[in-house]
């Protein structure tokens, strides 16, 4: 497993699940998506999906962990901080996130 913490992985999963899908989003495997429905009628509506409903948080977490398995180390920063300093940085990051709502 990579050296990323559970906090970092949770952050990645949350960002993945709340990412606004691009305009050229085009699912495969039989999944159907119509960006504009009722085109030309008074009920015309355009969907702007965010994240995905294809995966739950638990499933997305498993996917992120799968992506990180075997991740090469970041040699530029590897070993520069003591474990206590890493914990302080992560704690500060969590406090910052808690104080500032995510857009």
Is the pLDDT reported for residue 58 higher than 60?
Answer: yes
Q: Tell me the pLDDT tens digit for each residue of 70-89.
A: 666 554 565 667 777 777 77
16 inside domain: yes
Domain count, the chain: 1
For residue 1, is it within any domain? no
Cα(14)–Cα(17) distance, integer angstroms = 5
Interatomic CA distance for residues 1 and 48, integer angstroms:
35
Residue 11 falls within a domain, yes or no?
yes
Considering only 10-14, 49-53, 79-83, which range has the smallest mean pLDDT? 79-83
Question: What mean pLDDT do residues 20-32 have?
Answer: 77
In a domain, 46, yes or no: yes
For 79, how many CA atoms within 13 A lie in the half-sphere containing its CB? Answer: 3
- Residue 20 belongs to some domain of the structure: yes
Q: What is the mean pLDDT of the chain?
A: 77
Establish if 80 belongs to a structural domain: yes
For residue 63, tell me if it sits in a domain: yes
Show the domain range for 60. 6-99
Token pair in block for residue 76: 């530029």
Q: Residue 101's pLDDT is what?
A: 60
Whether the per-residue pLDDT at 23 is higher than 50: the answer is: yes
């Amino acid at each position: 497993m990579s050296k990323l913490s559970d906090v970092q992985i949770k952050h990645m999963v949350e960002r993945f699940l709340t990412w606004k899908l691009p305009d050229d989003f085009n699912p495969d495997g039989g999944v159907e998506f119509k960006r504009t429905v009722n085109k030309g009628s008074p009920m015309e509506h355009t969907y702007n999906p965010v994240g995905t409903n294809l995966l739950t948080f638990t499933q997305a977490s498993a996917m992120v962990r799968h992506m990180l398995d075997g991740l090469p180390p970041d040699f530029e920063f590897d070993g520069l901080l003591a474990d206590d300093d890493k914990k302080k940085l992560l704690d500060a990051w969590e406090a910052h996130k808690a104080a500032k709502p995510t857009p």
